[in-house]
Amino acid sequence: MRLGVMFDRDLPPEQLVPFARELDRTTVDDLWVVEDLGWTGAISSAATALAVTSRIRVGIGITPAPLRNPALLAMELANLARLHPGRLAAGIGHGVQQWMRQVGAAAASPLALLEETITAVGALLRGETVTLHGREVRLDGVSLVHPPAEPPPILAGVLGPRSLALSGRVAQGTIVPEGLGPAQLPEIIEHIDAGPGHELVTFTFLYIGDDAAEVTRPAAEEQGRFLQVEPEQVVMATGSAKEAAEQVRSLWSAGAGTVAVRPIGSDPLSHVTKLLAALQS
């Protein structure tokens, strides 16, 4: 069971370096960086975090397949994996379709694009020469000059049943978004239908304090719209430190191999510190 912490997209990018260094001094296993339209790029964020840490794994959650040519993405991931062996987890997803349309990158078949991208990137990272004439991806005899000796795991950031099944077929792990709870994970795992070693990463909001209900309401409303559920149904690790720790443990118990918390507010590490103390008690 792993514990990760997300560097929230709303935090100023210049805070990433001290944030990453501080996490590296804790018992946290992962630091997760994100790539959302208009915020920051995940590859540059991951490179920065890896460069200033020595222990934690850095997860990319996620790069949208429509914005990333698979050859270029494999080149970037291979570079990071060679510089920081064993410390990278590469998440790839469909991307938010509205955002993909905004930048003229919407795919005719998002499902085919994601499967072909993960397949091609994985093969390139393994040092293979790839020729693929797919529905969305076309590569002709492409290979990496410097493939990593230890290819990073590729995780699919997905949600729907068909996409979860895709992840089980072609990825080494699956990332599911904030708001899902222990009740949803067994069905998600059933849809993935993967063998041993497939990592399930669950993102979850974190806020510790008596004012949790008020502070987290905007996040619950936004994520509820994304998940198409009521805000009250968005599961979070909130309340007292003990309550937040119990929620994290419940996600592990339900099948999440990694729980990555997304602290809410301008002082994220204070919530992480309280959570760690509660988990260790």
CATH (residue range 2-280): 3.20.20.30
Mean pLDDT (whole number) for 22-50 = 97
Cβ neighbours for 269, distance < 8 A, ≥ 6 positions apart: 19, 22, 23, 263
* Other beta carbons within 10 Å of 224: 16
Rounded Cα gap, residues 59 and 219, in angstroms: 22
- pLDDT tens, residue by residue, 53-81: 999 999 999 999 999 999 999 999 999 99
- pLDDT tens, residue by residue, 96-142: 999 999 999 999 999 999 999 999 999 999 999 999 999 999 999 99
Rounded Cα gap, residues 274 and 278, in angstroms: 6
- pLDDT tens, residue by residue, 3-15: 999 999 999 999 9
Closest C-alpha among 226, 242, 251 to residue 275: 242
What pLDDT band is residue 19 in, cutting at 50, 70 and 90? very high
What is the residue extent of each domain of the chain? 2-280
* 244 in Cβ contact with 237 (< 8 Å): yes
Does the pTM surpass 0.85? The reply is yes
* 77 in Cβ contact with 108 (< 8 Å): no
- pLDDT tens, residue by residue, 202-222: 999 999 999 999 999 999 999
**What is the pLDDT at residue 49?**
98
